[in-house]
Amino acid sequence: MHSEHAARRPTDHSARAHHRKSVEKWHKAAYAALFFFLAAIAVQCARLGAAGLFVQTAQIELDRSTAASRSLGTPAIPVRTPNIVAVRNATHYFSSSLDYVSDNPWALEGLAALDLARMRTSKIPREALDATRSAHARFRQALLLRPTSPFLWANLALSKLYLDEIDDELRTALKQADALGPWEPSVQQTILFVGLAAWPDLDPETRTVLERTLARGSLRNRQKLLEIAKSYRRFDLVCAIDKYVEIAGPDCRNALAPPVSGELKKQGIH
């Protein structure tokens, strides 16, 4: 028995040693794999961090510049007018962000917004059209990665309006923006601005979306929505909602009052 045990011991010992070595080898391999995995994650995080940092820097640059300037657009849809240096810097930061993460949706959205700003300042139709096309393409690309962003959907609709393409894509964008960001004031403003411009080409469902947006906006955002509706002379829509009548009383009364006979005659209506 003893001899048998003695005879078997060296074999066990070597097997155990072999097993230990094998385990160690596996451990090493696992550690190496883990190391590379963590390193890859660290690199990816660093890239994402750098990309995000560039977007933040661009945003700060634009905000700082915009704060120093007055907006040019309609009061309700403020058009950012950062100075040329800020735009150049921001473009550089957004582009640098894309160098780290080529499809960073925030950078794409920022560049698209700058495209629209370029469109507004351009006096050359061809250039303005190219800028709008570029904005539209970037909003679409960004939406592939952030399909739940109501801002992107609203901006996509805006770019479609500027392209003079009132089609299903625009109508879908309006509906999606409303569904994803029903209480976002800037989304409400953009939906109303685009929707009223495209009103004759909207289907009943999308028109209902606009009416719902107006109704919701009356609770928190009525002043700005009223200004937009007034710029389209759509008193028929706003004056049907009590909250708007409270602040637009005279406008609603004047707009909805029947014209006096002299005016009727002038308009050729008898």
Q: Which residues bind other proteins (CB under 8 A)?
A: 73-74, 77, 79, 119-120, 122-129, 131-132, 161-164, 193-194, 196-197, 199-200, 231-233, 267
Of the pair 100, 199, the CB lying nearest other proteins is at 199
Query: Given the structure tokens 């060296």, which residue do they identify?
Result: 10
Of the pair 55, 131, the CB lying nearest other proteins is at 131
Tokens of 224: 């700005």
Of the pair 103, 127, the CB lying nearest other proteins is at 127
Cα–Cα distances in angstroms (integers) from residue 188 to residues 69, 159, 194, 248, in the given order: 24, 16, 10, 19
Tokens of 22: 């094998």
Q: What angle in degrees, to the nearest 10, is found between the helix axes of 105-121 and 125-145?
A: 160
Which of 199, 201, 191, 260 lies closest to 233, judged by CA? 199
Q: What angle in degrees, to the nearest 10, is found between the helix axes of 125-145 and 150-162?
A: 160
CA atoms within 13 A on the CB side of 7: 4
Give me the least distance between CB of 49 and other proteins, in Å please. Answer: 34
Of the pair 101, 202, the CB lying nearest other proteins is at 202
Give me the least distance between CB of 178 and other proteins, in Å please. Answer: 18
Of the pair 165, 184, the CB lying nearest other proteins is at 165
Which of 250, 254, 225 lies closest to 238, judged by CA? 225
Of the pair 14, 71, the CB lying nearest other proteins is at 71
Is 131 in contact with 119 (CB distance < 8 Å)? Answer: yes
Give me the least distance between CB of 161 and other proteins, in Å please. Answer: 6
Give me the least distance between CB of 242 and other proteins, in Å please. Answer: 25
Give me the least distance between CB of 192 and other proteins, in Å please. Answer: 11
Of the pair 109, 115, the CB lying nearest other proteins is at 115
3-state secondary structure 188-246: HHHHHHHHHHCHHHCCHHHHHHHHHHHHHHHHHCHHHHHHHHHHCCCHHHHCCCHHHHH
Give me the least distance between CB of 78 and other proteins, in Å please. Answer: 11
Is 194 in contact with 174 (CB distance < 8 Å)? Answer: yes
Measure CA 191 to chain center: 13
Give me the least distance between CB of 33 and other proteins, in Å please. Answer: 47
